Amino acid sequence: MSRLKLRIAAWMLVAALVLPRIAAARQAETNSPTQVFAGALARLVAIFQPPTNAPSRTFTATLKILKADGVSEELAGHEFEVAIQAPDHLRLSTEWSHQSYIAGRDGEDLWVHVPGKKFGLIGSPNVARFSASPASRDTAPLGPLKLPLPAEQLMLLPLLTELEALPNETIGGAVCRVLKATPKPEAARALKLPRGTFQFWIRESDFLPMRLTYQENNGADVSIELAHPLFSDSVPVTKWKLQPGEGDKIQSVARSHLTRCLNMAIGTLGEKVPTLGPATGERRIIAREGNGRLEMVDGTRVLVLKGTPEEMGRQHGVLMKKNVHQLVDRILFGVGVGSSLEKGTWVLGEIETAQMRLTPFMDDRYLREMDSLATASGLPREEVRLANFFPELFHCSGFAVFGKATADGRLYHGRVLDYMRGMGLEQSAVVMVLQPDRGNAWVNIGYAGFIGSVTAMNEKHIAIGEMGGRGQGDWDGKPMAELVREVMEKANTLDEAVEIMRKGPRTCAYYYVISDAKSNRAVGIAATADKFETIWPGQSHPLLPHGIPDAVLMSAGDRYEELVRRVQASYGKLDAEGARDLMKRPVCMQSNLHCALFAPDTLDFWVANADSQNVAANTRYTHYNLADILKPEQPQ
């Protein structure tokens, strides 16, 4: 690399001496491809770094996304109105799903406005990140607007790129020089450039790029176009500020919440979760921390935590640090900020309110585990707590079939989680096996950074799953995810599990399926803060009208009807494979994030997680056994 760095330094010296002269050349008919390319790069740099002592000018254009394959396909076909005034003013506007969105930067403030929702956010460095911590302000300057590469590196590219001139084309009535550009391998390595091929359409009259495409082999295929580009000398100051309409609710929030949302959105572009191949039976340990360990089982992660709350939190934070950061970013600053714009209310503020009301009812052990996890992963304690308190508005299904309903009388407990597929939780999926110093060992089908549970089985052969209902705002009780965990760690029988749920105190409306292989029984529970109902096998309920012997089925609407139909059609013949098939579409939804099937009698379980192409029910199920994972490791 030392030779490469010397060559880069030499190129930079040549660029400093030669390229300004090339960029100044304006007669297109005599310019070489290198000169045209240099001129185009100089025009881009001038938008963000105008010449010293030059008057402030505003660049405006319509940015059209023609293609975004392999990056974010839903962007294709959208247009963005862009205005830039260096160094610190920006305005973007677009229409999305029949809703208008406007965002901007005004010096050190950021803002976003949704006129149709009569709602807007102004991100200020003077607002604390957490209401419980008034000093938690992010006052670091935003810095100037800039291109992905520094100007000096950008101006090097004509020397570091293989250029090919293609026939001229006309865009928007303007003749454009067309260049195919492929970065040289050494340049791609040194400057960390994408390893694909670019194509530029450069307006002959002023060297302004009008269209850009980027292609990778079997990868991204992106095409963007500028329409009506214009430099203006005079722009009203009000253009850069949020302009609320009558009756609009404008909320001042911590600026870092908006920057984290933006960074998360950009960082996840093109992120893919690959489809799992056939199972091979491979199992290996990839990291250890104290008595905890992280394993890979058939290409999936298994996190084993053991000890006190502080020890398990530290093991979790150290072994899954990157994924914990991903989950917090995507829950708080992706879903939290994004859903605020959809709902027209500040969701992170609602979570903080929920936290204040929920915390007095929480087991101190769980709070200690969260705080230890935060410290070990390098995140603020408040962020990890808020991510764990995030309201679980799941739309799910669950069932337990046993006795006469199954081929061999075994109990099979299925759980479908339909929630936020595509928001990035897939990257944080992990099977967690917990061995607390007090209580039962259990398996949690969950996500890095989340210590509560919605899908689980314990060593006492009890399994549980939930589905969310209504009643958001009834926060004076234990969080649902803590109640599920409490059942796992404290209940040895189905009756004990029911009593833990009955005692609560509970919060919003949730529905549960709990099974116990020791007694070969299962029950459905419909619970709110002040109401508790049990639905036993064969019983019906106004929301679940079809009582089936030796079966508890929990879902809603057409999905419930389809689940009933499938169970009736396979009654008496269901085995593990047939039970997994019960969860396929349309019983699961397009938001299907994970599916799990428990056979609590033997502690076998199967888990499928969604990937970038498929809902969970259509991906490979991986087989595990809780008893095997809990066995003491053999000396090497």
Half-sphere exposure of 489 (CA within 13 A, CB side): 21
What pLDDT sits at residue 56? Answer: 77
Residue with the bigger pLDDT between 420 and 340: it is 340
At 404-415, the pLDDT tens digits run 999 999 999 999
Give SS3 for 94. Answer: strand
Contacts of 530 (CB under 8 A, 6+ apart): none
At 443-488, the pLDDT tens digits run 999 999 999 999 999 999 999 999 877 666 788 999 999 999 999 9
pLDDT of residue 568 exceeding 50, the answer is: yes
Tell me what the mean pLDDT of segment 54-81 comes to. Answer: 90
pLDDT band at 636 (very low <50, low <70, confident <90, very high): low
Tell me what the mean pLDDT of segment 42-52 comes to. Answer: 87
Which contiguous run of DSSP H or E holds residue 265? Answer: helix 255-267
Q: What is the residue type of 270?
A: G
Gap between the Cα atoms of 467 and 425, Å rounded: 18
pLDDT band at 220 (very low <50, low <70, confident <90, very high): confident
pLDDT of residue 629 exceeding 90, the answer is: yes
Give SS3 for 529. Answer: coil
pLDDT band at 30 (very low <50, low <70, confident <90, very high): low
What pLDDT sits at residue 70? Answer: 82
What phi and psi, each to the nearest 5 degrees, are found at residue 422?
95, -5
pLDDT band at 319 (very low <50, low <70, confident <90, very high): very high
At 576-585, the pLDDT tens digits run 999 999 999 9
What pLDDT sits at residue 391? Answer: 52
> CA 32 from chain center: how many Å?
45
What pLDDT sits at residue 28? Answer: 41
At 112-133, the pLDDT tens digits run 999 999 999 999 999 999 988 8
What pLDDT sits at residue 11? Answer: 43
What pLDDT sits at residue 22? Answer: 46
From 130-134, 198-202, 216-220, the region with the lowest mean pLDDT: 216-220
What pLDDT sits at residue 53? Answer: 77
Residue with the bigger pLDDT between 21 and 309: it is 309
Give SS3 for 494. Answer: helix
Tell me what the mean pLDDT of segment 279-292 comes to. Answer: 95
> CA 101 from chain center: how many Å?
21
Detail the DSSP E strand segments found in 156-248.
161-171, 174-183, 197-203, 209-215, 221-232
Gap between the Cα atoms of 552 and 544, Å rounded: 10
Gap between the Cα atoms of 453 and 451, Å rounded: 7
Report the share of the chain in percent with pLDDT over 90: 73
pLDDT of residue 19 exceeding 80, the answer is: no
Tell me what the mean pLDDT of segment 26-39 comes to. Answer: 74
Cis ω before 586 (30° cut-off from 0): yes
Q: What is the Cα Rg of the chain in Å?
A: 28
At 526-542, the pLDDT tens digits run 999 999 999 999 999 99
Residue recorded with tokens 């974010």? 72
Which contiguous run of DSSP H or E holds residue 350? Answer: helix 347-358
Contact criterion met (CB below 8 Å) for 82 and 48: no
From 18-32, 240-254, 341-355, 539-553, the region with the lowest mean pLDDT: 18-32
pLDDT of residue 12 exceeding 70, the answer is: no
pLDDT of residue 561 exceeding 60, the answer is: yes
Gap between the Cα atoms of 559 and 524, Å rounded: 17
Give SS3 for 213. Answer: strand
What's the chain's average pLDDT? 90
Global confidence as pTM:
0.88
What pLDDT sits at residue 384? Answer: 96
Burial of 105 (0-12, 13-18, 19+ CB in 10 A): buried
Gap between the Cα atoms of 30 and 22, Å rounded: 12
Tell me what the mean pLDDT of segment 147-173 comes to. Answer: 89
From 162-166, 213-217, 268-272, the region with the lowest mean pLDDT: 268-272
pLDDT band at 271 (very low <50, low <70, confident <90, very high): confident
pLDDT of residue 329 exceeding 60, the answer is: yes
Contact criterion met (CB below 8 Å) for 527 and 546: no
Closest CA to 400 of 585, 550, 560, 602: 550
What is the CA angle 498-501-502, rounded to 5?
A: 85
What angle do helix axes 364-377 and 321-328 make, rounded to 10 degrees? 110
Contact criterion met (CB below 8 Å) for 509 and 395: no
Give SS3 for 483. Answer: helix
Contacts of 631 (CB under 8 A, 6+ apart): none
